[in-house]
Amino acid sequence: MKILDVLLERVSPTLLVEPGPTREQLQKILVAGASAPDHGRMKPWRFVLIQGNARLRFGDLMAESLARREPGTTEVRLEAERKKAFRAPAIIGIAAAPRDNPKVPEVEQILAVGAAAQNILIASHALGFGGFWRTGSLAYDPDVKRALGLSETDSIVGFIYIGSVGQPGRPREVQIDEFVRYF
């Protein structure tokens, strides 16, 4: 697959199914993420891989987070929240862990983490998988960060769900004149 085709064709699927990436494929996907532009080689990203039975624990974590945010949530809604952990065979939690560096501002480190997330999506697509990026309230819950082994100062930038495409997403139609200005 040519890289430009990968960039132009990738869309978020509406359904992901088994099989997910193998261990070797996940290694490639994670290395691609860590190959993102990184001013100062700060490596400001943290990746948390969630697959297999770990999705049960992650689903419980998702439900606990919802229950804390919205006391009185029904068990039906909590169960629906738990099931979100099974949207895909593999999930990669991505966090920014910027460090003080007078030559590399925090914003540049956070942008590097965004580039790493994009690389993960592109690498997944290049290997024949689908992927989508989710955040939501879960990403801002300090108890979730702690449970995932992240520090208090880390920021979750999203969860990337990866698997085989069960139902493709809708292709984008991009009209660059809407947002490109010529100087």
pLDDT in tens, 42-57: 999 999 999 999 999 9
pLDDT in tens, 22-44: 999 999 999 999 999 999 999 99
pLDDT at 1: 63
Phi, psi of 59 (to 5 degrees): -60, -40
Domains by residue range for the chain, with CATH: 15-50+87-169 (3.40.109.10)
Distances from the Cα of 27 to the Cα of 47, 127, 134, angstroms: 12, 12, 21
Q: With contact defined as beta carbons under 8 Å apart, do 143 and 64 qualify? A: yes
